[in-house]
Amino acid sequence: MENKNLHLADEPRPWYQLLPAKAVLSKLNFLPKARLYLVLGIIAIGGCLYFSAGFLTEWIWFNSLGYGDVFITRFWAKGLVQLSIFLLAFSWYFFNLRFTLGSVRQNNHDVYSFPGPMTAYREFIVQHLPVKVLHLLFLILSVFFAMITVSRFSFSWESWLKYLYQVPFNYQDPIHGSDISFYFFTLPIIEWVLSLGKQLIWGTVPLTALIYFIFNPPQLLGWRKQHLSMGQKHLLFQVSILLFGLSLSAFIQVYQLVLTPNQLFVGASFTDIQIRMLGLKVIALSLFFLAILLLSGVKIWRPRMAMLGIIINLLLVVAFLGIGPMLVQRLVVEPNQFAREKAYIEHHLAMTRRAYGLENIQVREFPVTAFGENNDLFQSYSPTLSNIRLWDWRPLQLSYNQLQGLTYYYNFANIDIDRYQIDGDYRQVMLAAREIDLTRFQSHAQTWTNRKLRYTHGYGLVMTPVNEVTPNGLPRFFIKDIPPETTGNLQVDRPEIYFGELTEDYVIVKTKIREFDYPKGDNNAETIYEGRGGIKLNSFFIRLLCAFRFQDYKMLISNELEPDSRIIFHRQIVDRVQRIAPFLRFDEDPYLVLADGRLFWIIDGYTTSNRFPYATISPGWGNYIRNPVKIVVDAY
C-alpha cells in the first residue's frame, strides 16, 4: 500500500494543476473586453452575411434587370404567409398545451371515484409536478410543430397572390353558375384553409390526450356522466371544431365534383348530380348539427344523443356516398347511359374547347382534287412543298458537332427549326448555337481562371436548309465557321453567347484576363465583354456577398478583378426566366433566333391550371392552357 501511494506521488501532474487558480484565471482573461466584443461582433456579422448572401445577391440581380418589385413582392408574400402560419400554429398549439397544465393540476375527486393506486399517483403528480419544466417543454413543442406546419403549408404564397389579384373570366360553369375564377383562385384558398385547420386539429387532439393520460388520467375517465371534467371538455371542444371543418369540407366537395374525373369524362355525371351532390349537402348539414351537439356538451353532456348523432352521420355517408351512387349507376344510368349522360357530355365537350381556346373552331369542307401538271392548286402550294423538311435532327446534330464544333469544348446541344427571308425567298431552316461546354475540359485545364474568367461564352451559330445536301451527302450551310461566314442577306454582328442552354455556372467578365473567343491559327482571338449583364463587383461588400453565395473565396483575393468587373449568373435560359416569372410554365426547349445581327433566345410562357370545370385533363399540363407570353433573352 505504501509503494502504491509513493508511486502516485511521484507521477507528474498535468500542467494546469501546477498553476495557481488565480494564474489560470488571469490567462483566460488575456483579451480586453473591447477586443472580445470586437471578435464576437465580427463573427456575428460574418454569420449574418453568410446566411443572407443568397437573399441579398438575388435582390441585386433582380434590380439589375429592372424587376426589383417582383422580388420584393415575392419576398413579402412568402414572409407574410410563413409568419402568419407560424403565429397561428404556435398560438394554437401553445394555448392548448398550456390549457392542459391547469387541468393537470386539478384534483377532481368530487367528479369521479378513483381506485386507490390512481389516487396515489395523482397526489404524487400534484406534489411533484415540474411546472416550469412543462412550460418550457410546451414552448419547445409548440415551436417545433409550428415549424413543421410552416414547412407543409408555406407553398401557398403564390395562391394567395392569385386570390388577391384575381380577375373574373366572365364565363360560368354549367352546374353551379359560378364564374370560372372561383375555381381558379378562391376555391384553392378555401381548400388550403380547411387543410391547415385539419392539420392543427389532428395535431393537438392526440397530443393533449397524451398529456392528460400521463399527468392526470382521471381527466379522461367517465364519459357517461352529465358534467365532464376540464380535460374532457377540452377534447370535446377540439373535436367540435374538427366537425365544423369536416362540415365545410363536405359542402366544398359539392363544387369539387365538376373538377373530378369519372369513367367517361371530367366533371359531375348524372349520378353525381342526382345523388352525390344532394348527399354531400345533407352530410354537411348533419355534421354541422353534430358539432353543435358536441359543443353543447361542454355545459351538459348527453352521451346517448352524441352517439346517436355519430351513428346517423355514418349511415348518411354510407347511403349517399356508397350504396346510393352504386345503385343509381347500375340501375338507372347503365341501362340507358348515353341518354342519361348526354347533357353532361355536352358540357364536357363545350368546356374542353373553351379551356384550350378552341371554342371558335369552324368546320369547313375541303374538296380534294388530284394535282395535274398545270394545276393552279399545285402552284399555290409550291413554297410549302419546296420547304418540306427532310433532315432529321439527330444525324444533323452529329454532323454539326463533327463539322462545325471546331474544338472539343464547343457543343451544339440542340437544334431548332425556324423560317427566314433569304435573298427574297422564304426558307425553312435548321439552326443551332455553338455553346461552350466546360465539362469537356481536361482535368489539367479545369482551373479557376479558365472556368470563371477566360472561357466565358460560346460563339456563333450554324444554319442549314431543311432539305438540301452537298454532293457528298453533307448538310449545305447558310451560316458556318468561326468567324461566321454567311449566305445572302444573313448577318452575324454579335456572335458571343453568354446565355444559353449549357451555361450553368457563373462567370466574371471585364477582368484583366481577356476572354477566349475562338482559335485563330497558332493564337487565339480574344475579347472583353461590352454588355450590361450581371451585377457589378465594384465594392468589397458585393464581392464578399458573392463569395459567400458561391462559396468561392478566390474572387476576394484574385488580382485579376477590376472595379468594372461584373459577375454573371443565372445564365441558363429556362432557369433565368423561371426565377423572374415563377407563376408561368415554360417550354423546356427555348429556340435560337438571329435578328439584326444579334442572337436571341425565345421561350414560350404558358398559364396552366387543372381547375377548369368539365375540361379534359392533359397529363402533366392540367386542363387549361394559354400561351400569352413569349420571353426574349439576348444571348449577349
pLDDT in tens, 414-427: 999 999 988 888 89
pLDDT in tens, 515-547: 998 888 778 889 999 989 899 998 899 999 999
User: Quick one: pLDDT at residue 365?
Assistant: 83
Could you give the dihedral angle defined by the CA atoms of residues 154, 159, 162 and 164, in that order, rounded to the nearest 10 degrees?
A: -60
pLDDT value at 153 more than 50 = yes
pLDDT in tens, 311-330: 999 999 999 988 998 998 89
pLDDT in tens, 369-407: 655 555 565 566 677 777 888 889 999 999 999 999 877
Select from 456, 466, 530, 470 the least CA-distant residue to 499: 456
Strand partners, 421: 426
* pLDDT: which is higher, 32 or 2: 32
User: Quick one: pLDDT at residue 224?
Assistant: 61
Out of 58-72, 125-139, 204-218, 225-239, pick the least confident: 125-139
User: Quick one: pLDDT at residue 104?
Assistant: 62
Select from 458, 449, 443 the least CA-distant residue to 409: 458
Going from the C-alpha of 419 to that of each of 89, 270, 326, 465, the distances in angstroms are: 57, 50, 57, 10
CA angle (106, 112, 118) in 5-degree steps: 70
Task: Output the nine-digit C-alpha cell for 417.
Answer: 427549326
CA 498, distance to chain mean position in Å, is 27
State the sign of the Cα–Cα–Cα–Cα dihedral 607, 613, 618, 621.
Answer: positive
Across the range 406-411, mean pLDDT stands at: 83
With a CB cutoff of 8 Å and minimum separation 6, the contacts of 231 are 100, 103, 208, 212, 216, 219, 220
Helix (H, G, I), strand (E, B) or coil at 452: helix
Q: State how far the Cα of 85 lies from the Cα of 154, in Å rounded to an integer.
A: 8
pLDDT in tens, 251-302: 999 999 999 998 889 999 999 999 999 999 999 999 999 999 988 887 878 8
- The answer to whether the CB of 526 falls within 8 A of the CB of 515 is yes
Q: State how far the Cα of 79 lies from the Cα of 3, in Å rounded to an integer.
A: 73
Across the range 76-105, mean pLDDT stands at: 88
Cα diameter, the chain: 129
